[in-house]
Structure 1
Amino acid sequence: MSMASIFGLAGPKLTAGERAFFRDASPWGFILFARNIETPAQVARLCADIRDTVGRHAMIFIDQEGGRVRRMRPPYWRDYPAAAVLADIYRNNKSDGLMACYLHHRLMADDLRTAGLNADCAPVLDLPVDGADPIISDRAFGNSTASIIDMAHAAMAGLMVGGVAPVIKHIPGHGRATVDSHKALPRITEPELQLRLTDFMPFTALSDAPMAMTAHAVFDCVDDTVPLTLSTAAIDHIVRGVIGFDGLLMSDDLDMKALSGGLTAKTERALAAGCDIALQCSGVLPAMVKVAKGAKTLTGDARRRADIADYSALYADEFDRTSAEIAFDALLIQYGHQQVSV
């Protein structure tokens, strides 16, 4: 029986302590970071060891967007550009932009799937605004809801046909945040109607995604005291209600400074508020133990949503990687962006 948690790991190999802990705690999923990545063969071994430890084909996540946020890098993997590069192509030619976005994510899915990973914390659906903290900036598919929606659909398609489950983020929108939630708690003060017509729109348009990650931010229009990740009112009204998202809802990293309190309490509060899964990324064993104490067994709607997410990564279509790389590089060059294949 899986628990409602996703954990990180300390390094490129499982330690004896991690093996024992993961076997007992049985988290639903795992997430890898740069500290866990060395070579394709090493990542494949690590993924196999993780699954052998828990006795099932567990979801293994990574943040692989391109640009600043990519854990798998050269010399073993392509140096994928940021979403803003794809958005630039889209602004020049919508059809070419959508194709570039699709190929970008289809190639990444092939990288991940080959290395043993089957879930990507992408695409970013946040709508950046002037004056916001630069934590989103070039990670966004432009600064209009239309471009974000179009390109996010292409991104999600590229991942899913490659057998990688996407996680849309950061629901219901982090683009207005004036502080980085890794460091402090953002507050979104705009009225709900304005947010429905802007920030919420990409998430509403992609509400059929199998998974979403929360924004650690206070939304004054619903709950002006508690960040959405920990707020029953905000999750019920905005995420499940206004946006209509019924996929698996995972918290952003519980270690981020936007959330106050101990890890056990934050885990309990996030799951009680309506998150299906608590995410904790540090790979520090004592911290994971605290999260495990606050986690609960995946049952009911959370179990149903987790099963659907699992199913979305079962199969990958046949793929001619060489042709895809030639086509992708041609689009980058055509619109003035450096060829990035290795």
Structure 2
Amino acid sequence: MSKRKKSILKPLILSTLSLFIILVVVFYVMDKDREGKQNPTENSQPVVEPSPNTPPELGENNNQKLHDYINDLFSFAKEGKVVGIPFVSGKAKKQEVQNKWGEPDQTTDTESGRYEEYKNRNIVIGYTGEIVSDIRSYDPELQKIRQNDIKKAGGEPDQIRYYKDETQDQIILVYQVTPLTELKWILPKPTDQEPNPKVDHISVFTQVKNQAEQSTPPDQQKTIADLSLDEKIGQLIFAGIAGTTVDSNTKSLLTKYKVGGIIFYKDNLINPSQTVQLLNQVKSENGQKVPLLLGVDQEGGRVTRLPGGLINFPTNKEIGAINNSQFSYQVGTMLGKELKEFGFNLDFAPVLDINSNPNNPVIGDRSYGNNAEIVSKLGIQTFKGIQSQHIIPTIKHFPGHGDTSVDSHLELPIVNKSLQQLKELELIPFEKAINSGADVVMVAHILLPKLDADFPSSMSKNIITGILRQQLDYSGVVITDDMTMGAIIDHYSIGRAAVESVKAGSDIILVGHGYNNAVEAISSLKSAVQKGEITEQRINESVSRILELKKKYEINNEKVNNANIEEVNQSIKKLLDEYSN
């Protein structure tokens, strides 16, 4: 190699070697730096991973954004809105939703109404009729909010409700943002492991007036609004009492549970003066805003409850044989006068069952006969006579107890008739009475498998809502037969029976016997409302009908001085003499 080539290579080799040494030093320093970070000294602060049960520490800006988001949710709810949703609860119509969003992915019909789910929008829309009444948002952003965040922004909720089924155990924080609108925060129920749970979803629910409520006078709407939930549920209970005086249990039913009505049986009523005194005591103990319904079974014939040697009327079977409309009207008038003398205001009569089964152990001569036209004509005249005395008549036992061979006081009767067969016989008197102005219908405890294989008529939505309200267009008060009868109590708890009956469309649950039974019915109804199984709006519908009934008949708590049995008997004797020839 020449000297010239050696002189060129030598500097090149030195430069390359220097560069290599520099790179080695740099990599060594970087490696030591990484090692130092991975192995902190005792003075270094350890990195703590957030616990899954502890919300991550948010930066100042994020924390403020969360607070603002919650405040927006409260503000929007006051207008019936959910952030990011173009519809207003209580105002928007179903057609508007479908025009903008199209058909829902899933539709569910519940006791509360119809719910339509739009999965890609994380939204469920609930309807009352054709009006949006509930907007439920499952936006993932909501799951960044915890229970304490809600209370920090909105304060303590107005109500706390709970919901539990096979898959969920939830707490519902309810904020009454307007008189008609609630903002509900639904979260998993707090536990020791998770005392501050994350939001599952929210609901903006607005009470939408149905057709019945829209026709309710403003003063009655105010009365309903002024009633507490306990007072409303009390109006749905017609309770029996024990003994011949007002004892502690009776006081409790009236003052604590605020029942809307009391039924009296023969063993409550010894003589006229005691009966008047008992009813006056009951009225005195009623400290409610709403007067009581005071009812009794005074049909005439073998079903009479009133004391004092009142002259009894012929059986309905005998009256049916006479077949005189005027006589039936006057019998009804005298029944009304009897009740008025003692201070009652409701009669569980007349019977509109057609006695089509000669082996029927419970109806028999309580019926006007086996002819639908005669039963209709005489039954209607009887209830009109009762009405003439400002006493509320009750037509019974819908949809017809005449073709049973079992006493529902003891067992559950089964009638294997179709709707068409009922229309051809049993329903005729009820339909005609409804068209003639009947205000109260009592529903029987009968299983009709062709109409509802699961529930007896007193708990059947198919029968109460489907047939009575929709097909017969009945808008008055529906009361059950006594829920402590064997037909019900041997198959259901009294609480479950009461809940199912109200869900089916009943307005008043008759609990004829047992203080504890009445309390159980009341507590079960309240629990069903708190859990969302029955809406408070549904309770309001029944309360509205009950208040309208009491207003129509001018029910009040005025006391009666005495019962003039002699005068009533003279009138009855004169009537019977006139038609005995």
Would the TM-score normalized by the shorter structure come out above 0.5? yes
Cα distance in 2, alignment partners of residues 132 and 202 from structure 1: 21
Residue in structure 2 matched with residue 304 of structure 1 by the alignment: 544
Q: What are the residue-to-residue correspondences of 1:53-202 with 2, within 5 Å? A: 53-55=285-287, 56-75=290-309, 77-90=310-323, 97-202=324-429
Task: Kindly provide the CA deviation profile for residues 272-309 of structure 1, in whole angstroms up to 9, marking residues without a partner as x.
Answer: 11111110111x22222212212358843212221232
Report deviation, 1:120: 0.3
Residue in structure 2 matched with residue 18 of structure 1 by the alignment: 250
Task: Kindly provide the CA deviation profile for residues 229-286 of structure 1, in whole angstroms up to 9, marking residues without a partner as x.
Answer: 111122222211222222100111111111212111111111111111110111x222
Please tell me whether the aligned partners of residues 214 and 250 of structure 1 are also in contact (alpha carbons under 8 angstroms): yes
Task: Kindly provide the CA deviation profile for residues 138-197 of structure 1, in whole angstroms up to 9, marking residues without a partner as x.
Answer: 001121111111111111111111111001100111111121111111111122112101
- One-letter code of the match for 2:239? F
Q: Select the residue among 456, 462, 468 that pairs with 1:233.
A: 462
1:277 and 2:511 correspond:
no
Please tell me whether the aligned partners of residues 210 and 305 of structure 1 are also in contact (alpha carbons under 8 angstroms): no
Cα distance in 1, alignment partners of residues 405 and 573 from structure 2: 39
SS of corresponding position for 1:216: coil
Cα distance in 1, alignment partners of residues 465 and 396 from structure 2: 17
1:329 and 2:569 correspond:
no
Distance 1:74 1:47, change over 3 A: closer
Report deviation, 1:121: 0.4
Cα distance in 2, alignment partners of residues 253 and 305 from structure 1: 20
SS of corresponding position for 1:250: strand
Cα distance in 2, alignment partners of residues 100 and 270 from structure 1: 36
SS of corresponding position for 1:246: coil
SS of corresponding position for 1:183: coil
Residue in structure 1 matched with residue 270 of structure 2 by the alignment: 38
Please tell me whether the aligned partners of residues 125 and 170 of structure 1 are also in contact (alpha carbons under 8 angstroms): yes
Give aligned-pair identity as a percent.
24
1:290 and 2:520 correspond:
yes
Distance 1:131 1:138, change over 3 A: closer
TM-score by length of 1: 0.88
Please tell me whether the aligned partners of residues 355 and 363 of structure 2 are also in contact (alpha carbons under 8 angstroms): yes
Residue in structure 2 matched with residue 29 of structure 1 by the alignment: 261
SS of corresponding position for 2:294: strand
SS of corresponding position for 2:421: helix
Please tell me whether the aligned partners of residues 119 and 313 of structure 1 are also in contact (alpha carbons under 8 angstroms): no
Cα distance in 1, alignment partners of residues 383 and 356 from structure 2: 23
Q: Say which structure, 1 or 2, has more relative contact order (CA 8 Å, 6+ apart).
A: 1
Distance 1:330 1:312, change over 3 A: farther
Q: What are the residue-to-residue correspondences of 1:256-267 with 2, within 5 Å? A: 256-259=485-488, 260-267=491-498
Distance 1:41 1:322, change over 3 A: closer
Alignment RMSD, CA only? 2.0
What number of residue pairs does the alignment pair up?
A: 322
Deviates more, 1:264-273 or 1:323-332: 323-332
Please tell me whether the aligned partners of residues 354 and 369 of structure 2 are also in contact (alpha carbons under 8 angstroms): yes
Gapped regions of structure 1 (runs ≥ 5): 91-96, 335-342
Gapped regions of structure 2 (runs ≥ 5): 1-230, 527-535, 556-566
Report deviation, 1:79: 1.7
Report deviation, 1:74: 4.7
Cα distance in 2, alignment partners of residues 103 and 33 from structure 1: 24
Please tell me whether the aligned partners of residues 398 and 441 of structure 2 are also in contact (alpha carbons under 8 angstroms): yes
1:50 and 2:290 correspond:
no
Cα distance in 2, alignment partners of residues 301 and 331 from structure 1: 45
Residue in structure 2 matched with residue 223 of structure 1 by the alignment: 452
- Higher Cα radius of gyration: 2
Residue in structure 2 matched with residue 338 of structure 1 by the alignment: none
Cα distance in 1, alignment partners of residues 366 and 382 from structure 2: 13
- One-letter code of the match for 2:541? D
Deviates more, 1:305-314 or 1:212-221: 305-314
Please tell me whether the aligned partners of residues 210 and 312 of structure 1 are also in contact (alpha carbons under 8 angstroms): no
Cα distance in 1, alignment partners of residues 315 and 552 from structure 2: 25
Please tell me whether the aligned partners of residues 357 and 404 of structure 2 are also in contact (alpha carbons under 8 angstroms): no
Report deviation, 1:7: 0.3
- One-letter code of the match for 1:165? I
Distance 1:21 1:311, change over 3 A: closer
Distance 1:325 1:234, change over 3 A: closer
Deviates more, 1:321-330 or 1:304-313: 321-330
Please tell me whether the aligned partners of residues 219 and 234 of structure 1 are also in contact (alpha carbons under 8 angstroms): no
Report deviation, 1:115: 0.4
Report deviation, 1:57: 2.6
Please tell me whether the aligned partners of residues 418 and 451 of structure 2 are also in contact (alpha carbons under 8 angstroms): no
TM-score by length of 2: 0.53
Task: Kindly provide the CA deviation profile for residues 41-95 of structure 1, in whole angstroms up to 9, marking residues without a partner as x.
Answer: 22122112112212253110000001111111452x22222111211111xxxxx
Please tell me whether the aligned partners of residues 5 and 295 of structure 1 are also in contact (alpha carbons under 8 angstroms): no
Cα distance in 1, alignment partners of residues 302 and 577 from structure 2: 22
- One-letter code of the match for 1:189? N
